[in-house]
Amino acid sequence: MSTPTTHEFQAEVKQVLDIVIHSLYTDREIFIRELVSNAADALEKMRHTQLTEKDIFQADKPLEISITSDETAGTLTIADAGIGMTRAELVENLGTIAHSGSKAFASALKNAGKGGDATLIGQFGVGFYSAFMVAEEVKVYTHSWRGEGEHLVWSSTGVGTYTIEEAPDQDRGCRIVIRLKEDARDFARPGTIRSVLGKYSNFVGFPITLNGERVNTVEAIWLKNKDEVTEEQYESFYKFTAKAFDKPVYRLHFQADAPLVINALLFLPEQNMEAFGMGQMEPGVALYCKKVLIDPHPPKLLPDWMRFVKGVIDSEDLPLNISRESMQDSALVRKLGEVVGKRLLKFLDKEAQDDAKKFQEFYMKFSRFFKEGVATDHANRDAIAKLLRFESSLTEPGEVVGLGDYVKRMKEDQKAIYYQVAPSRAAIEGGPYLEAFKSKGYEVLFLYESIDEYVVSTLPEFEGKKLQAVNSPDVDLGEVSSEGESLSEDDTLALAGWLKESLGDGVEEVRAGKRLVSAPALAITPEGEMTPQLRQMMKALKPSEVEAPKVILEINPRHELVKKVNHLRQNDADLAKLLSEQILDNALLSAGLLDDPQRVVARTEKIMARIAG
Ligand code: ADP
């Protein structure tokens, strides 16, 4: 027999263990759920391995989970006949965390507050370590499914290091032995274990025994009729299948016979896990065929943006021996995903109409996914666009409107759906663009996120109406009524010519603007130039490659300041130049195009000196 080797835990694992051991003291029971769920995953992988591999260690061993407890010794043992682990896999799986799990977990816990919230742990891919909430020591006895593998035991007290040594006569799979802490000995009582299993593990697709007695009935509630399933069953199934701790906000349970036989049970969660900094989630809707799990996270079943949806799709039309690989290219699977995806979008649209407030609350957390959907899922683009929500010039701050309602309240002569992209409501309401639209009674959508612009650019139309930015050169508002006497047409033309001359390269054109009410001027991005938002993004990426902006300057010939500049250009050309440069920079600032705020400071000082002098 070899001597044990000692290994240091990776720093991220140490961090997780430190939290688990020192900060989590509520909901400790969930460690049972985590270990049972790992055992079930390992059995699931075994079932698939059996389909493709020949040389399997203990090939006839039944796929089961057996739990035994010893109250006198204070130990709890969870054994499975799953795929087990090799020495390298032990090091990889129980000594390191591959992704951002530990960081995301730590920050989620911080939000959860005092006492921690242990129920979160499974979502962050660190469930195994939850055993250390209750364990003095954990031993993992294992033999991999691979024929000539080693018989091994991994042991640790959760502090700093673990050891691996040979341990003869291991069965295939993993046997996890937990020596319970003094204050956790209750978890060796069969009554306690049974009640925890009842809460969390009812839906495990493999037999579970406790001290030799069968404790679960394998239930496929998605195959039942809606009226045969209770709210509690739905909720605990959601928690089981999504490894979730929250409650689902929406649930869609349906059966269909044509064009395919489908039993689907889908849930929309309350919490957006990607918002915790977990990186991109795996698809959350599992694929089954006649109760048998084909793939827990099938990548090409539903469109990628629907990865936050949880649940199950079962279709008896699929061949039972379909492999995960062939599944991905299967036309049948694609069709299945199409049908269910469409159904889900229809369901959400109806829910949004029935209870707009509830949908808004849900949407606020998951808006990123819907926006991604509009940009990437062409087949469903219009249906997803219906679900987008934005603040607008007609909503209160924090309230939103959908494109459908927007179109319903469009004015008769209104030509397009108007939007402005800007960082905040204040920036839009204080800027020069909105007022003309307001004076016409046209609603303007307020888009606050930088991806919004990209999203609307992939959506040229909604219900036959064009989407148009308020600062687009193509906006046609007809006549905008405004007060005050205007410069004559000749004077306006002459002033525009003079401004073009004196402002130089930054302006492509100066013209009288029809869409100005109380501002002296505004800047419009000419056709073919980058929009201000895109330009800002490019500037952040490659500052040296972004040239100075070029704009069309629209002036308001009714505005006092504009009239003054016109007068001054003939009498005090210096001051007229200073003022017109300032008018341009103000317009650039409102447009999000001002690169050099410092020059504004210098110039305003000059102007102030002129006034004071
Ligand atoms: P997750 O299960 O979310 O990946 P865990 O911390 O619970 O995270 O487990 C880490 C890894 O250890 C698993 O991904 C799996 O590869 C391995 N593992 C855990 N338990 C078992 C088991 N009973 N049998 C085989 N492998 C296991």
Burial pattern 255-288, b for ≥16 Cβ within 10 A else e, equals eeeeebebbbbbbbbebbbbebebeeeebbbbbb
Instruction: Determine whether the shortest distance from the Cβ of 38 to ligand 1 is under 6 A.
Output: yes
For ligand 1, atom 11, the nearest C-alpha belongs to 93
State residue 86's pLDDT score.
96
Per DSSP, what are the bridge partners of residue 65?
80, 208
- Ligand 1 atom nearest 45 alpha carbon: 25
> Once rounded to an integer, what is the mean pLDDT over residues 294-319?
92
Comparing 358 with 319, the larger pLDDT belongs to 358
CA of 148 to the centre of ligand 1 (A): 21
pLDDT of 122 > 80? The answer is no
State residue 517's pLDDT score.
84
> Once rounded to an integer, what is the mean pLDDT over residues 474-496?
87
pLDDT band (50, 70, 90) for residue 532: confident
Q: Where in the chain is the domain with CATH 3.30.230.80?
A: 221-357
Q: What CATH number should be reported for the domain whose range is 388-469?
A: 3.40.50.11260
CA of 42 to the centre of ligand 1 (A): 8
Instruction: Determine whether the shortest distance from the Cβ of 82 to ligand 1 is under 6 A.
Output: yes
Instruction: Determine whether the shortest distance from the Cβ of 125 to ligand 1 is under 6 A.
Output: yes
Q: Where in the chain is the domain with CATH 3.40.50.11260?
A: 388-469
- Ligand 1 atom nearest 127 alpha carbon: 7
CA of 277 to the centre of ligand 1 (A): 21
Burial (0-12, 13-18, 19+ Cβ within 10 Å), 148: exposed
**Rounded to a whole number, what is the largest CA-CA distance in the chain?**
103
> Once rounded to an integer, what is the mean pLDDT over residues 378-385?
96
> Once rounded to an integer, what is the mean pLDDT over residues 380-385?
97
> Once rounded to an integer, what is the mean pLDDT over residues 450-474?
92
Please name the CATH architecture into which domain 221-357 falls: 2-Layer Sandwich (3.30)
pLDDT band (50, 70, 90) for residue 100: low
Instruction: Determine whether the shortest distance from the Cβ of 83 to ligand 1 is under 6 A.
Output: yes
State residue 533's pLDDT score.
82
Instruction: Determine whether the shortest distance from the Cβ of 20 to ligand 1 is under 6 A.
Output: no
State residue 111's pLDDT score.
67
State residue 99's pLDDT score.
62
In tens, the pLDDT along 166-213 reads: 999 999 999 999 999 999 999 999 999 998 988 777 788 899 999 999
Q: In whole angstroms, what is the distance from residue 608 CA to residue 137 CA?
A: 76
Q: For residue 522, which of 476, 556, 561 has the smallest C-alpha distance?
A: 556
Please name the CATH architecture into which domain 489-612 falls: Up-down Bundle (1.20)
| Residue pair 428/420 in contact by the 8 Å Cβ criterion | yes
pLDDT of 503 > 90? The answer is yes
Q: In whole angstroms, what is the distance from residue 228 CA to residue 236 CA?
A: 15
Q: Among residues of the chain, what percentage have pLDDT more than 90?
A: 65
Q: In whole angstroms, what is the distance from residue 487 CA to residue 72 CA?
A: 98
Instruction: Determine whether the shortest distance from the Cβ of 127 to ligand 1 is under 6 A.
Output: yes
Comparing 531 with 83, the larger pLDDT belongs to 83
State residue 115's pLDDT score.
52
Residue 188 neighbours by CB under 8 Å, 6+ apart? 69, 70, 71, 73, 74, 75, 76, 180
In tens, the pLDDT along 261-295 reads: 999 999 999 989 888 777 888 999 999 888 878 88
Q: For residue 87, which of 5, 179, 192 has the smallest C-alpha distance?
A: 5
CA of 172 to the centre of ligand 1 (A): 15
pLDDT of 12 > 90? The answer is no
Q: What CATH number should be reported for the domain whose range is 5-214?
A: 3.30.565.10
> Once rounded to an integer, what is the mean pLDDT over residues 46-50?
90
State residue 217's pLDDT score.
74
Instruction: Determine whether the shortest distance from the Cβ of 16 to ligand 1 is under 6 A.
Output: no
| Residue pair 222/263 in contact by the 8 Å Cβ criterion | yes
State residue 119's pLDDT score.
66
For ligand 1, atom 8, the nearest C-alpha belongs to 125
For ligand 1, atom 25, the nearest C-alpha belongs to 84
In tens, the pLDDT along 319-329 reads: 766 666 677 77
> Once rounded to an integer, what is the mean pLDDT over residues 95-115?
69
For ligand 1, atom 10, the nearest C-alpha belongs to 93
Comparing 548 with 78, the larger pLDDT belongs to 78
CA of 89 to the centre of ligand 1 (A): 10
> Once rounded to an integer, what is the mean pLDDT over residues 131-144?
97
Instruction: Determine whether the shortest distance from the Cβ of 205 to ligand 1 is under 6 A.
Output: no
In tens, the pLDDT along 62-73 reads: 999 999 999 999
For ligand 1, atom 14, the nearest C-alpha belongs to 93
Instruction: Determine whether the shortest distance from the Cβ of 80 to ligand 1 is under 6 A.
Output: yes
State residue 1's pLDDT score.
59
**Single-letter code of the amino acid located at 238:** Y
For ligand 1, atom 9, the nearest C-alpha belongs to 128
Tell me what the pLDDT averaged over the chain comes to: 90
- Ligand 1 atom nearest 39 alpha carbon: 23
CA of 316 to the centre of ligand 1 (A): 30
Instruction: Determine whether the shortest distance from the Cβ of 529 to ligand 1 is under 6 A.
Output: no
| Residue pair 526/507 in contact by the 8 Å Cβ criterion | no
The reported pTM is 0.77
> Once rounded to an integer, what is the mean pLDDT over residues 588-603?
90
Residue 99 neighbours by CB under 8 Å, 6+ apart? 125, 278, 279
> Once rounded to an integer, what is the mean pLDDT over residues 371-377?
96
For ligand 1, atom 12, the nearest C-alpha belongs to 93
Radius of gyration for the chain, computed over Cα atoms and rounded to the nearest angstrom: 32
pLDDT band (50, 70, 90) for residue 359: very high
State residue 33's pLDDT score.
87
Cα–Cα distances in angstroms (integers) from residue 281 to residues 2, 88, 104, 344, in the given order: 41, 26, 13, 19
CA of 126 to the centre of ligand 1 (A): 8
CA of 93 to the centre of ligand 1 (A): 6
State residue 3's pLDDT score.
87
Over 41-61, what HEC string results?
Answer: HHHHHHHHHHHHCCCECCCCC
